[in-house]
Structure 1
Amino acid sequence: MTKFLYVYHGSGKIPATEAERHEMMKAWDAWFASLGADVLDTGNPVGMSKTVMPGGKVENNGGVNPTGGYSIIEAKDIDDAARKAKSCPILAAGNANIEIAPILDMRTMTAG
């Protein structure tokens, strides 16, 4: 099994009411429960980021595709990780996506 980083992009809207936030968390909790032990770190939402460009220029817009949060999931391969991501509640909003990348262990990598 390999560890995968899920980076959530888009939406970024936190529900306005306590009841809406509760419903949102129920959906996320149910999704994480459906993945079981494959959830290594449920992660967290993140605030607006800054991007440091070559030469030191800093952009305050969060980049081209602002990050909304992250999770770390275990899967057989990237296709399995993508399959697991398809039922993530963030996708229900219709204006969000999930970037998936394998987490590489630098200690076990060798020079090619």
Structure 2
Amino acid sequence: MAKYLILYRADKTMNEQMSGSTPEEMKAGMDAWNAWAGKAGSAIVDFGNPTNPVDDAGGGQPVGGYSILEATDTDALDQILEGHPHAAQGGTIAIYEIMPMPGM
């Protein structure tokens, strides 16, 4: 099975999003993520964490977090990501296949 690095991008940094949210909004957001995680099940290798840019020399939308998922192929991965709360909340998701290191 292939592993994929999932990067969650949004117009605001995670700190900006969290500082502008009420406790009820944060709980609702986490409930949505936990519901998705329950659906994704064993495909989640690493649920991930929020991130905050230190040096975003590339510009564009900041990466607000990441996950590592495992799937047989990109079609299966698309099914796992279907209805993902980050996309439902207006963010974008970038997907990178994690390639095995040659000779390792």
Query: TM-score, with normalisation over the residues of structure 1?
Result: 0.77
Conserved 8 A contact 1:11-1:68: no
Cα RMSD (Å) of the superposition? 1.9
* Deviation of 1:108 (Å): 4.7
Conserved 8 A contact 1:3-1:72: yes
**Residues 58-112 of structure 1, C-alpha deviations (whole Å, 9 max, x = no match):** x4xx622311110000111123212322211011122x11011111110458xxx
SS of the aligned residue for 2:47 comes to strand
CA distance in 1, matches of 2:75, 2:82: 11
**Identity between Structure 1 and Structure 2 (%):** 36
* Deviation of 1:49 (Å): 3.6
**Of the two, which has the highest radius of gyration?**
1
Gaps of 5+ in 2: none
Matched, 1:31 2:48: no
Aligned residues: 99
Gaps of 5+ in 1: 52-58
Matched, 1:86 2:82: yes
